[in-house]
Amino acid sequence: MLEAATCWRDRFLLVLLWFGGLRIGECLGLRRSDLHFTDSSTSLGCSEPGPHLHVVHRDNNPNRASAKSRNDRVVPVGAWVLAYYDRYCAERLSCPGADDCDFVFVTLFHPPPGQPMTASAVRQGLRSLSRRAGLGRAIHPHLLRHAMNLLHAGVDIAVLALWLGHESTKSTQAYIHADMKLKEQALARTTPAGIPAGRYIPSDPLLAFLENL
Q: Which of 145, 149, 144, 143 is nearest to 187 (CA)?
A: 149
- Which fold does the domain 8-211 belong to in CATH? hpI Integrase; Chain A (1.10.443)
Q: Taking the domains of the chain in order of start, what are their residue ranges?
A: 8-211
The CA distances from residue 2 to 69, 129, 139, 153, 197, in Å, are 29, 9, 13, 22, 11
132 CB contacts (<8 Å, ≥6 apart)? 4
Query: What pTM, to 2 d.p., does this model score?
Result: 0.71
Distance CA(104)–CA(35), nearest Å, equals 9
Q: Which of 172, 148, 147, 143 is nearest to 160 (CA)?
A: 172
Question: For 29-73, how does the pLDDT look when each residue is reduced to its tens digit (9 = 90+)?
Answer: 999 999 999 999 999 999 999 999 999 999 899 999 988 778 888
Distance CA(92)–CA(77), nearest Å, equals 21
Tell which wins on pLDDT, 143 or 34: 34
Question: For 165-177, how does the pLDDT look when each residue is reduced to its tens digit (9 = 90+)?
Answer: 545 555 555 555 4
Please say whether the beta carbons of 163 and 150 come within 8 A.
Answer: yes
Question: For 115-137, how does the pLDDT look when each residue is reduced to its tens digit (9 = 90+)?
Answer: 999 999 999 999 999 999 998 88
Distance CA(67)–CA(56), nearest Å, equals 7
202 CB contacts (<8 Å, ≥6 apart)? 8, 83, 84, 86, 87
pLDDT the model gives residue 207: 45
